[in-house]
Homo-oligomer: A and B are copies of this chain.
């Protein structure tokens, strides 16, 4: 239940990384783009990226915004990408950061976590409180899915709201963390993690360590490694004493690895190498 299949996939592949798929059209190597619809260009690129490393990396995380940006064509590419990755045995996290009041949250939950959906997990925004979160949890319980709820995001200005002192030096995000633990407390999988995971940025190593201690049963999705400045030593603080309970995202760093080599023709090879380098970089700091 919940994060169990992700935990298993991480163990079996020995890699707690997730391939972020945030494809702008200009990222697609020219030879893959030529003469194609937007949907086909994005999908073919994603498919190549998945093929390049599906044996090495347990999950993908498409960011919904980049598909929504291309309208119906983008959403068609997203749908096909999710289906393809799921068939390739990958765990699918849709990064959508949805959040709304009860009945509307229920509609979002049904949109993405319904029975038979190839999406295993989505990201949500907790600003509306428990009645905006529970409809997602209910859908997860019914259909063996999971969610990651925002706690401390990787961007610089996250401090403006999330670090506000709510008394005795307690930052707001810690209150959000406590609520997140509470919301998931009755729904713990056999892997030891609750149905509701948390998003904590690699760019805040102190908070990552603090939250790891505060939330032993919460699975972390850690963005901000690489391009945003998070180091392997930093993200390692998000793992628990068994070396589990976290997955680290990289999007551009993996998707656009070919750009550093100026070699779009062999983008698959460069992504595969980047996946291996990221895994080895992180695993040297994670307890085994």
A residues neighboring B (CB under 8 Å): 22, 24, 63, 65-66, 68-69, 71-72, 75-76, 79, 97-102, 104-105, 107-108, 110-112, 125-132, 150, 153-162, 164-167, 172, 175-176, 179, 223
Which of B75, B79, B127, B156 touches A127 (beta carbons < 8 Å)?
Answer: B127
Number of copies: 2
Which of B100, B107, B108, B128 touches A157 (beta carbons < 8 Å)?
Answer: B128
Task: Give Cα distance in the complex from A24 to B107, angstroms.
Answer: 9
The answer to whether A164 and B160 touch across the interface, beta carbons within 8 angstroms, is no
The answer to whether A100 and B101 touch across the interface, beta carbons within 8 angstroms, is no
The answer to whether B128 and A153 touch across the interface, beta carbons within 8 angstroms, is yes
Task: Give Cα distance in the complex from A223 to B150, angstroms.
Answer: 24
Please give me the residue from chain B that is nearest to A224 by CB atom.
Answer: B101
Which of B75, B76, B110, B172 touches A164 (beta carbons < 8 Å)?
Answer: B172
Please give me the residue from chain B that is nearest to A179 by CB atom.
Answer: B160
Shortest distance from the beta carbon of A70 to any chain B beta carbon, whole Å: 8
- Please give me the 9 A-B residue pairs with the lowest Cβ-Cβ distance, nearest first: A129-B157, A129-B160, A65-B107, A101-B155, A131-B157, A68-B111, A69-B111, A130-B157, A69-B107
Task: Give Cα distance in the complex from A18 to B72, angstroms.
Answer: 26
Q: Which residues of B contact A75 (CB under 8 A)?
A: 72, 75
Whether A176 touches B155, Cβ cut-off 8 Å, given contacts A97-B98, A110-B69, A127-B127, is no
Shortest distance from the beta carbon of A224 to any chain B beta carbon, whole Å: 9
Q: Which residues of B contact A160 (CB under 8 A)?
A: 129-130, 179
The answer to whether B125 and A99 touch across the interface, beta carbons within 8 angstroms, is yes
Task: Give Cα distance in the complex from A227 to B65, angstroms.
Answer: 32
A68-B111, A101-B154, A102-B155 are known contacts; what are 12 more A-B pairs with Cβ within 8 Å?
A: A66-B104, A68-B107, A75-B75, A97-B98, A97-B100, A101-B223, A127-B161, A128-B150, A128-B155, A129-B160, A131-B155, A161-B179
